[in-house]
Amino acid sequence: MGRWIRLGRWARWVAGFALAGAVAYADGPWKVHDRNRPLPREVTPGERPGDPPSDAIILFDGKDLSKWETASPGGGPAQWKVEDGAMTVVPGTGSIQTKESFGDCQLHVEWKAVEGTESNSGVFLQGLYELQIYDSYKNKHRIYADGVAASMYGQHPPLVNACRETGTWQAFDIIYHGPRFDGDGKVLRPGTMTVLHNGVLVLDHAVIKGYTVHGAEAKYKAHPPKLPILLQNHGNPVGFRNIWVRPLPEPESDGGSSPR
């Protein structure tokens, strides 16, 4: 009997300690299970995987390029081809970027490699940090590891190669948190990317080392908290469809001082 009494006291002590810890680590001014805390707003999910939820900003719905512009100096209307619900890179017309600027976000992009090309392109968050698009099915073009599809170009290879067969649609689902800088341009926190390629986790809160460059170490340069999303024109006729974005709020608990 004494043994059970001792275990009971120990269990009560553990439970009390856990409760005290939970109260101590509650977010901001809210207590644990505080009924005055505002409830999350409601969002209606898309009916099928990849469909935009009700609060998404539609960047391309297969109809026109009204949300995009040419990214080269001078800007101007985007000149890629729109046909059969998709837009396709037109070599020589430059990369395109969103007219609206974004920071931390959830981004969905679908793309298709074209047989007979490397299908080299990329999604640039804030126009600076590239998630690589490449025809890496069965590693047919045998590029370096940090340049295959779904790599953070020049920085992090994907955890696995989740490419579908050439000529079929692929999907990127990206959770992006941009870097933060102080008034002197010093990095307060680096950016991060979490990426699912065709539903498979390929980058898990990967830390961005700096803006994307080819053949050199990445470095940061201070920039505004919001910039356009860019799709690269690398001279290959890559297809795109169903592009949408959800801006993300700062974390409630820390005011955005550290990555989630």
The structural domains of the chain, with segments of one domain joined by +, span 1-39, 57-247
**CATH code linked to domain 57-247:** 2.60.120.560
Q: What is the dihedral of CA 205, 155, 134, 61, to 10 degrees?
A: 40
Mean pLDDT of the chain: 89
Say how far apart CA 235 and CA 68 lie, in whole Å.
Answer: 18
Cα–Cα separations (whole angstroms), residue 108 to 171, 195, 229: 7, 10, 12
Q: How many CB atoms lie within 10 A of CB 40?
A: 6
**Which pLDDT band holds residue 140 (cuts at 50, 70, 90)?**
confident
Asked whether the predicted pLDDT for residue 15 surpasses 60, the reply is no
Q: Model pTM? A: 0.86
Average pLDDT over residues 11-35: 62
For the cut 90, the answer to whether the pLDDT of residue 71 exceeds it is yes
**Residue 85: partners with Cβ closer than 8 Å, 6 or more residues away:** 62, 241
Instruction: Tell whether the model's pLDDT for residue 122 goes beyond 50.
Output: yes
